[in-house]
Amino acid sequence: MSERPQHPQHLVVVGHGMAAVRLVELLVGGGWIEQGHALTVIGEEPGPAYNRILLSAVLEGTHDASSTVLRDESWYVDRGVALRTGVRVAEIDREAGEVVLVDRSRVAYDRLVLATGSVPSLPPIRGMVRPEGTLHERVHAFRSASDCRGLVAALADRRTPVRRAVVVGGGLLGLQVARALGARTGHGAVVTEVVEGAEHVLSRQLDRNGAGILARDLARLGTTVYTGARAVRLVASPQPEHAVGVRLDNGHVLATDLVVLTAGGRPSTALARRAGLDVRRGVVVDDALTTTDPRIHAIGDCAQHAGKVSGFVGPAWDQAAALAGRLLGDPTPYAGVREVARLRATGLDVAVLGDPEAATAAAGEVVEMTNPITRSHRKLVVRDGRVVAAALVGDLSRVGLLTQYVERGTVLGPHEPGDLLLPEKRTGSTGPADLPDDTEVCACAGVSAGAVRACGSLDDVRATTRATTGCGGCSGTVRALLAARTPVGALGG
Amino acid sequence: MTTTHCPYCSLQCGMTLTRSGGPRGPLEVGAWESFPVNEGALCRKGWTAAGLRGHRERLTTPLVRETLPDGTRGELRPASWDEALDLVADRLRDLRAAHGPDAVAVFGAGGLTNEKGYQLGKFARVALGTSQIDYNGRWCMSSAASAGLRALGVDRGLPFPLADVERTDVLVLAGSNLAETMPPAARHLDRLRARGGRVVVLDPRRTPTADRADLHLAPVPGTDLALALGVLHLVVAAGAVDEEYVAARTTGFDEVRRSVAAWWPERVERVTGVAADEVRALADLLVGTAGTGGRVMVLTARGVEQHSQGSDTVLAWINVALALGQPGRPGAGYGCLTGQGNGQGGREHGQKADQLPGYRMIDDPAARAHVAGVWGVDPASLPGKGRSAYELLEALGQPGVDGGPDGPRAMLVLGSNIVVSAPNATHVTRRLESLDLLVVADMVLSETAAIADVVLPVTQWSEETGTMTNLEGRVILRQAATRPPEGVRSDLEVIAGLAARLDAPGTFSTDPEEVFAELGRASAGGKADYSGLTYDRIRAEHGVFWPCPATPDDEPDHPGTPRLFADSFGHADGRARFLATEFRGAAEQPCDDYPLHLTTGRVLGQYQSGAQTRRIRDLPDDGPFVELHPMLARRLGTADGELLTVSTRRGSMRAPARVVETIRPDTVFVPFHWVGANRLTNDALDPASRMPEFKVCAAAVTA
């Protein structure tokens, strides 16, 4: 489907997360409603759409919870978009062209977009889930705004003080949550331990060298990391002052007041699977972001494009933009994008552009520098003169420039990747007394150091050269030059 | 000795001119210490401004292009004033008769005095009856003007005196290099810092202005809007919004608040190339200052305004200032640093395609009735809205697009050197050459005059009197210090001469003071009300800030308005508007063929198209150069001083490399005072202001 639809269409979006909101914004901005089409958004979470990226910042206290809201309900109303939140879609009736909600009511669609996101994968920890199916009161998932609210409330509850926390998962989200707990403003910091099953933290993004630098930073910040260890059971606390214990597969028990699960998520595909669409890890889509049913599209975390599912907002938004363009009549296919993983965690400097490990494996040339003394690790993976992936730990200088190079596929010179590993140079200033005579000291009037040295006083400088009579920026230099002037008599002798 | 003002930028530094010898003897520039804006300071452009007097390239006789026997265009030859003006009037009359009044266009300038700009607008509407008038200020001020008008209800560059800069606590300069473009203004930065205030500069280059800053952020050209959105995001996140102010003095915040939720620092970093921590540092500075009762001032300039989203970027910075509760407080708020000498006044009195004197809109029936009354014509006879500057040039000599009206076949140009200063200049020059008649009034044979059919030699600044409105909205008086050379006429005389030949209704005075009085009456009741101003008052008070309405005879004079917004904004309800913006990015993004960002700007020793400054012996004229970072130079295999070719989809130029560490490695810079830079620039327009995207396009550089 590449042409602008001729007849009024009812587009139904299942999901109300970041990909869905982006799609709706672009469709509304592109005239979808004005062209006579209809748009309905069905979100499972109650309340307004919010920026999920910022939940750890809300936990840390740097972001006000209300500042994460992306669009108020009134925004949809004002633009003629039907929004239903707190409602789950139970199934898709493809034959009828309807979605069936849990209350068995039906919503007819001409086109359907699945933007169902992902569901947190819960690690197999015995005792974590209570018989009725809910999490143990000391255990929190960290995926939704409601999870975040629950965690913040638990931390603020004076009856059950939280002094220690265990974060299960040492990926991006795990480290963000760990640092947020450790750096919480306003409520007192929490001593935090991280349990990671892989051999090092950020195992999807970093190699051993990079992770080694990061581990030192974490230790310096007071966060202990247990790598190569899995949490297997929730037990009684070995210490009476803490609420529970987390037993690791090596037998060690961590006493804690709180457990946060950040062990990642998997695409939410149940609806699509039940509807008979092709689903592998995610809902399979082609370059038009269309599933195996030409009337159904999928974008964001739930979608699998070119064999990949993402979990990052960048690709989700790009997919939303490509699909919106298509629905509005622009047939540019979605070509896939590079991921930029940027840890936003106080005190930890990590940026991962693209997929350095996969790029290295795919015969990329690696230019890297690890300096344990300055605690920095910089690794660029270069192919055909282009930086295709990069990992920066501890030293984010030039991160902005590198991101531009990676995203735009800029072809660099042979020396450039090496130059980019070095910290930025700042030209040191020379003292005025050492300035060569032909150096311009006053740009406003175009006056050289020599011309100033030839004058006897500031008034003389002003009258004969007009230095200092413009922006005034050279006044200090001119005074210093005059002060350092060799007294005329001294040359005599 | 005569007190007057510098002929160049919007700072309009006060200066004295002293004549030695006879009535046309040489002039010497001196300091006018008591004029408050510059207190006697001048940059080298000001000190040498008298250098064009008696210059061998000064035009002193009209020139008319010969037609060769085979009908092709020949050379320009000297002609008498009567011959030249008769010729122009006859051709204009014929074209109008054959093709209607819109077949004739007028192109004005932000360097013209208020009197000339006003008279030119009146001439277009009354003598020519054309809607096709606009001016080069469209390429300078229009984005800030459009945003200021929409958000604050008034467009006055600075709503406070420039010296208020010294009273703020944090000054954010978004896209301004004032230390080079208006050097005496930098004194205020130094005094601010001496007081303990902080200065932030946003610029892809570490300019001399950035060297004076406490914090310098260097965004990728074309991403300034994203940076502003990211700053507001952090202000909202920190709970630092001045909710009381927002509730009492503004509307529209809720949508803006939501619209920035998606601009967290790491996303801003990805888009702008500015590290997330630097974005945080800027926001922390603003939040920490405003949150403790301190003052924040944001000033924008061409660096963020000359973009296809320039007006959105200004709106976004106004949103930051409003959210922090700053506009209207003394020593705080938002302002724009105007560019051209009369960039402010030039946009207030009818040179703009959509405006009438007093900053009135031409489609407002009440405004038409008032102005037509002053002009002594029927309101219905006034044309409507015309094309904006670039669209006007684009239409010259062209058949109508999509059944629209044909483009103009003749154009009068005053005070503008379009061949050098228009974007996509090769294309625009071809349009100029396609005209049946191009008339240029200038003091030298500029690149644009050189392709004209008729060139009219006019007076320069030291030879004429008239008012300018500086970047503060202060109306000041330039006074003639000497007599023009024989054979030279003022723009007012040119306009009057043509109006008479065209049998225009109403009067076209050649006396600036009379024209100013008429301008005052025409502006009365408008947003930019000059009706209470006289030359005597301006002289006595070192300039007067508009609005300054006339008062009845038995009441004291209106004092003028140095500071706006203390109690009320310019909208009918008195409230400022928060307006949400959506980041789109530059119209042209780098690609494999054109992998670099190109940005353009000024150097200290030259001004605008250089028609004046390039001819002044004491100013350095080293020609254009290509500024680039050492890493990029190494990639290209070039070194400082070696010739480079810069090309874009629209054209190319050659200039020597200037290798500096003060520019982003993904960006090159070329100054625009010479033919070349604007052959490269993009003509994508801001949809609201019609500002072309001078400040960024995709370029390739080869050694």
User: B647-702, pLDDT tens digit by residue?
Assistant: 999 999 999 999 999 999 999 999 999 999 999 999 999 999 999 999 999 999 99
Give the per-residue pLDDT at B403: 86
> pLDDT per residue over A224-247, tens digit each?
999 999 999 999 999 999 999 999
Q: Is B42 on the interface with A (CB under 8 A)?
A: yes
Distance from CA of A62 to the nearest CA of B (A): 6
Indicate if A188 and A250 belong to the same structural domain: yes
The larger pLDDT score, comparing residue B218 to residue A132, is at B218
B57, part of any domain = no
Q: Find the closest chain A residue to B638 by CA distance.
A: A413
Distance from CA of B290 to the nearest CA of A (A): 17
Nearest by CB to A444, from B43, B239, B269: name it: B43
Mean pLDDT calculated for residue range A327-332: 89
Mean pLDDT calculated for residue range A12-33: 96
Is B592's CB within 8 Å of A57's CB? no
Residue B241 φ/ψ, nearest 5 degrees: -70, 135
Q: Which of B33, B43, B232, B253 to mutate to test the interface with A (most CBs of A within 10 A)?
A: B43
Q: Which residues of B touch A407 (CB under 8 A)?
A: 270
Q: Is A100 on the interface with B (CB under 8 A)?
A: no
B568, part of any domain = no
Percent of chain B with pLDDT over 90: 95
Nearest by CB to B275, from A50, A53, A399: name it: A399
Indicate if A247 and A185 belong to the same structural domain: yes
pLDDT band at A491 (very low <50, low <70, confident <90, very high): very low
Give the per-residue pLDDT at A116: 96
Give the per-residue pLDDT at A333: 85
Percent of chain A with pLDDT over 90: 71
Q: Is A67 on the interface with B (CB under 8 A)?
A: yes
> pLDDT per residue over B281-334, tens digit each?
999 999 999 999 999 999 999 999 999 999 999 999 999 999 999 999 999 999
Mean pLDDT calculated for residue range B581-605: 95
What order do you get walking across the sheet with B437-442 strand by strand? B73-78, B63-67, B454-457, B437-442, B410-414, B104-108, B133-135
Could you say which residues from 664 to 683 on chain B have a Cβ atom under 8 Å away from some Cβ of chain A? 664-666
pLDDT at A347 over 90: no
Give the per-residue pLDDT at A428: 52
CA distance A237 to A253: 8
A427, part of any domain = no
Q: Is B237 on the interface with A (CB under 8 A)?
A: yes
Mean pLDDT calculated for residue range B404-427: 96
Residue range(s) defining the domain that contains residue B16: 2-52
The rounded mean pLDDT for chain B is 96
Give the per-residue pLDDT at A4: 60
pLDDT band at A187 (very low <50, low <70, confident <90, very high): low
Is A50's CB within 8 Å of B277's CB? no
Mean pLDDT calculated for residue range B103-114: 97
CATH number of the domain bearing residue B621: 2.40.40.20
Indicate if A259 and A270 belong to the same structural domain: no
Give the per-residue pLDDT at A427: 55
Q: Is B275 on the interface with A (CB under 8 A)?
A: yes
Judge contact between A425 and A245, C-beta under 8 A. Answer: no
pLDDT at A425 over 80: no
CATH number of the domain bearing residue B7: 2.20.25
Location of structure tokens 């001439």: B123
Q: Which of B635, B661, B696 to mutate to test the interface with A (most CBs of A within 10 A)?
A: B635
Indicate if A63 and A178 belong to the same structural domain: no
CATH number of the domain bearing residue A451: 1.10.10.1100
Is A399's CB within 8 Å of B605's CB? no
Give the per-residue pLDDT at A1: 44
Indicate if A113 and A25 belong to the same structural domain: yes
pLDDT band at A335 (very low <50, low <70, confident <90, very high): confident
Indicate if B388 and B474 belong to the same structural domain: yes
Give the per-residue pLDDT at A430: 58
Residues 6+ apart with CB under 8 A from B478: B4, B5, B113, B461, B464, B465, B466, B467, B468
Q: Hey, which residues does B300 pair with through a beta bridge?
A: B174, B336
Residues 6+ apart with CB under 8 A from A493: none
> pLDDT per residue over B532-586, tens digit each?
999 999 999 999 999 999 999 999 999 999 999 999 999 999 999 999 999 999 9
Q: Which of A83, A471, A478 to mutate to test the interface with B (most CBs of B within 10 A)?
A: A471
Give the per-residue pLDDT at B401: 86
Give the per-residue pLDDT at A492: 41
pLDDT at A2 over 50: no
B502, part of any domain = yes
A440, part of any domain = yes
> pLDDT per residue over B374-384, tens digit each?
999 999 999 99
CB pairs under 8 A between A and B: 147
Indicate if A292 and A223 belong to the same structural domain: no
CATH number of the domain bearing residue A110: 3.50.50.60
Indicate if B128 and B213 belong to the same structural domain: no
Q: Please give the model's pTM, rounded to 2 decimal places.
A: 0.94
pLDDT band at B30 (very low <50, low <70, confident <90, very high): very high
B474, part of any domain = yes
The two tokens of residue A338 are 């590079």
Of A109-113, A333-337, A389-393, B522-526, the range with the lowest mean pLDDT is A333-337
The larger pLDDT score, comparing residue A432 to residue B283, is at B283
**Structural domain total, chain B:** 4
CA distance A264 to A365: 30
Indicate if A259 and A280 belong to the same structural domain: no
SS3 content of chain A, % helix, strand, coil (to 5): 30, 25, 45
Nearest by CB to B266, from A50, A342, A405: name it: A342
Residue range(s) defining the domain that contains residue A453: 432-487
ipTM of this predicted structure: 0.91
Indicate if B242 and B366 belong to the same structural domain: no
Q: Find the closest chain A residue to B284 by CA distance.
A: A62
Location of structure tokens 């060769």: B68
pLDDT at B55 over 90: no
> pLDDT per residue over A362-403, tens digit each?
888 999 999 999 899 999 999 999 999 999 999 898 999 999
Q: Find the closest chain A residue to B257 by CA distance.
A: A67
